[in-house]
Amino acid sequence: MKTLRPSRVFSLRARVAAATALGALIIVSLVGWYVAAAISRNNILQLDRRLETASEVVVPRAQTFEMFLGSLSRSEAFAITIRQTDEVRASTQPQLPAMPLGSATADVDGTPFRVYTAAVPDRTDVTVSIAVPLSEAQDITDDQQRQVLQAGALAVGASTALGWILGGRAVRPLMRLTHDVAKDPPTPPRKSTGVREADALAAAVGDMLQRVSDAQARTESALETARDFAAVSAHELRTPLTAMRTDIEVLRTLDLSAEQRQEILDDLQRTQGRVESTLAALERLATGELTTDADRVSVDVVEVADLVARDAARTLPETRVRVEADGPVSALGHPTGLRLALDNAVLNAVRHGGATTVVISVARTAEGARISVDDNGSGVPEAERERVFGRFERGSRAAAGGSGLGLALVAQQAHLHGGTVRLESSPLGGARLVLEVR
């Protein structure tokens, strides 16, 4: 089986230094090539000017030079050839080939020469060619190009070193960011380092840490809610479950009459209903605890109240429920939560207060909406009006079999909506529940 080898990892500082070195190498190479070409061209031009200067001395005295050119020994330092048309009149050794007027390069016996040819004044058919080995210019060019190469190498080395030094300073904000994030718990990074990219990364990391923190808080809240749900459920359900177990043991062990058996079965059914309603209420409480402000939307409170009234007309046919409002009233809220609160308020008035008439009034306020639920029931004693909003708290006039969580759900929704809830005396003779949402 082929094993994948891990790729080599380099620090950002090393990458900056390498990028700087590569950039410097490219620039130095381009500049060096241009400078080397310019040096070669300039040295040849200088050599041409020397030959042209020499021709200004030789050409006017061509006849004089003809007399002793042939007697000169072979020279590798220079060459002169005088021609008339295609005939060589005089020449040093080596002899130069026929060349056009002006400067040119010629190969003489395998050695390149730089040649300058000019016509003799008043004798246009006579030309004088003066040449020196091209190596004179090439040696100077090679030496100067070698110096350019050395300077380029030093420039690349210096750029690499500067890239390493300055790269360290450039990545210092990132190192501080890494150090802050690596702490336990992570420290929110500083968002003003003077480096735009580092600031942008710090802002992104800070947002990420905030999201992680929020998610952790939500998770802890969910766990706390689950623990609370389990503890409260165990506490509240212990009594009815114990009663159910006792009834089952009686049915199993005693020889009962039909009337006694039916009485115990009815008690089991009532207890089972109590357990079911308690679990449902606890579930709604737990769901509400996990609701956040981000879930709030624009809600027409009057429309929610109408839905509650129509639903009550089906489930509570002996109770008259009506809605009073001057028009639509909008507020930011949780539609399901508001419906749950009003359902429980109406059900509480009917079940525990014995109300036959319930009026839901909705009014607009400066901060949101105020919902009043009036009934003509037995009401709630003033001393109990705050206590009954607690979990598993029941009023002295409450009917048997309730879970004690109905008004707790209303109080929870008031808190989730940033509002308040209270109980007052109603003009109808019973209780008035006032729920304000913002």
> Quick one: pLDDT at residue 372?
94
The model's pLDDT over 282-308, given as tens digits with 9 standing for 90+, comes to 665 566 555 666 667 888 999 999 988
- With b meaning 16 or more CB within 10 Å and e meaning fewer, what string describes 58-89? bbeebeebbeebeeeeeeeeebbbbbeeeeeb
Per the DSSP assignment, residues forming a β-bridge with 111 are 108
Instruction: Report, at the CATH architecture level, how domain 12-165 is classified.
Output: 2-Layer Sandwich (3.30)
> Quick one: pLDDT at residue 361?
94
pLDDT at 180 over 70: no
Query: Phi and psi at residue 155, in whole multiples of 5°?
Result: -65, -40
Considering the chain, what percentage of its residues have pLDDT values greater than 70?
A: 78
For 424, residues 6+ apart whose C-beta sits below 8 A from its C-beta are: 385, 431, 432, 434
Contact at 8 Å (CB) between 206 and 373?
Answer: no
Kindly indicate the confidence band of residue 1, based on its pLDDT and cuts at 50, 70 and 90. Answer: very low
The model's pLDDT over 310-328, given as tens digits with 9 standing for 90+, comes to 988 888 889 999 999 988 9
In the predicted model, what is the mean pLDDT of residues 189-204?
Answer: 65
Angle at 227 between CA 215 and CA 435, to 5 degrees: 80
Sign of the CA dihedral 257, 263, 269, 271? negative
Q: Which of the listed ranges 25-39, 58-72, 280-294 does the model predict with the highest average pLDDT?
A: 25-39
In the predicted model, what is the mean pLDDT of residues 85-103?
Answer: 84
pLDDT at 253 over 90: no
Q: Which of 134-148, 173-187, 358-372, 377-391 has the lowest mean pLDDT?
A: 173-187
The model's pLDDT over 125-174, given as tens digits with 9 standing for 90+, comes to 888 888 888 877 777 777 877 888 888 888 888 878 877 777 666 666 66
User: What amino acid is encoded at 347 in this protein?
Assistant: L
> Quick one: pLDDT at residue 222?
67
Q: Which of 311, 398, 403, 324 is nearest to 359 (CA)?
A: 324
Contact at 8 Å (CB) between 167 and 157?
Answer: no
Torsion, CA 305, CA 306, CA 308, CA 309, rounded to 10: 120
Rg (CA), the chain: 53
As to burial, measured by CB atoms within 10 angstroms (0-12 exposed, 13-18 middle, 19+ buried), residue 304 is buried
From CA 37, how far away is CA 145, in angstroms rounded?
Answer: 9
What CA–CA distances, in Å, run from 299 to 180, 271, 284, 329?
A: 43, 38, 20, 8
Residue 298 CB: number of other CB atoms within 10 A? 9
> Quick one: pLDDT at residue 239?
59
pLDDT at 344 over 90: no
Q: Where are the domains of the chain?
A: 12-165, 293-437
As to burial, measured by CB atoms within 10 angstroms (0-12 exposed, 13-18 middle, 19+ buried), residue 41 is exposed
pTM score above 0.85: no
Q: What is the 3-state secondary structure (H, E, C) of the chain?
A: CCCCCCCCCCCHHHHHHHHHHHHHHHHHHHHHHHHHHHHHHHHHHHHHHHHHHHHHHHHHHHHHHHHHHCCCCCCCCCEEEEEECCEEEEECCCCCCCCCCEEEEEEECCEEEEEEEEEECCEEEEEEEEEEECHHHHHHHHHHHHHHHHHHHHHHHHHHHHHHHHHHHHCHHHHHHHHHHHCCCCCCCCCCCCCHHHHHHHHHHHHHHHHHHHHHHHHHHHHHHHHHHHHHHHHHHHHHHHHHHHHHHHHHHCCCCHHHHHHHHHHHHHHHHHHHHHHHHHHHHHHHHCCCHHHCEEEEHHHHHHHHHHHHHHHCCCCEEEEECCCCCEEEECHHHHHHHHHHHHHHHHHCCCCCEEEEEEEECCCCEEEEEEECCCCCCHHHCCHHHCCCCCCCCCCCCCCCCHHHHHHHHHHHCCCEEEEEECCCCCEEEEEEEC
Contact at 8 Å (CB) between 36 and 145?
Answer: yes
Kindly indicate the confidence band of residue 403, based on its pLDDT and cuts at 50, 70 and 90. Answer: low
From CA 321, how far away is CA 347, in angstroms rounded?
Answer: 11
Spacing of C-alpha 352 from chain mean position: 55
Kindly indicate the confidence band of residue 117, based on its pLDDT and cuts at 50, 70 and 90. Answer: confident
From CA 321, how far away is CA 54, in angstroms rounded?
Answer: 125
User: 2.60.40.1510, 3.40.50.970, 3.30.565.10, 3.20.20.120: which CATH number matches 293-437?
Assistant: 3.30.565.10
Residue 252 CB: number of other CB atoms within 10 A? 7
